[in-house]
Amino acid sequence: MFFKKAIIGGSGAVLSRYARLSHPVQCAIGWVVAASLMLAVAFPAAAQAAKAAPAAQPARTVLVMGDSLSAGYGLAASQGWVSLTADRIAKTKPGWRVVNASISGETTAGGASRIDGELKRNKPAVVVIELGANDGLRGLPLAQSRANLDRMITASKKSGAKVLLIGMRMPPNLGREYTQGFSDNYSALAKQHGVALLPFLLEPIATDRTAFQDDNLHPVASAQPKLRDHVWTQLAPLLR
């Protein structure tokens, strides 16, 4: 009898301890089940939200095709008007970027030979063409320069890009006929193609000798913000 009671008593003690332990265990199991249910509900909702969220759009590109005036000849990389324009765009025009494909010494022929590759590589929304100064300084035929610029504008527009054509002027020692014809090339092409035109890049500083380096051709660093602001008058409307 004692043996039997001991077993029963032992079982009762075990059952009693189990009863005391079972409540927190059941609570813990309950929390696990509840959490599982919450995750089961949350994951499909999160997946649905991710699916519904629009994909980030790639940045639209401004491609600059220029010569040493745009390449920042004699300046630190961050000082040229193109770099300053890129900084302004980064701060004021989210979703845009600038690619400077300018090369010192570039002619309109060089730009015309490179335009297709640059368009394919960068897929720009806006193309800024600042070329011709080296053609004029070498006295190259005006018809040749015009044909090269025409090819660049045509290719850019065909790719779907807007175009800003930036003009230059030649010193009077090249003769009135040549200098006038040189300037007229830009206005005629802009009118022919219906593109934006900045007639003379250096207009804000042209009469200020201190704004140029010792070669009297390339602007100094302190003049670059004026060029940036000058170009911006025609570029900003194209970034809408």
Write the pLDDT tens digit of every residue in 112-142: 999 999 999 999 999 999 999 999 999 999 9
Write the pLDDT tens digit of every residue in 209-234: 999 999 999 999 999 999 999 999 99
Write the pLDDT tens digit of every residue in 28-69: 444 444 444 444 444 455 455 445 555 667 899 999 999 999
116 is a catalytic site residue: no
68 is a catalytic site residue: yes
Which residue among 83, 156, 218, 230 is the active-site one? 218
215 is a catalytic site residue: yes
How far is the C-alpha of 213 from the C-alpha of 194, rounded, in Å?
A: 35
Write the pLDDT tens digit of every residue in 71-116: 999 999 999 999 999 999 999 999 999 999 999 999 999 999 999 9
Give the mean pLDDT of the chain: 85
Backbone φ and ψ for 101, nearest 5 degrees, come out as -105, 25
Check residue 55 and give its pLDDT.
60
Check residue 149 and give its pLDDT.
99
Residues 6+ apart with CB under 8 A from 4: none
Which residue among 67, 68, 83, 156 is the active-site one? 68
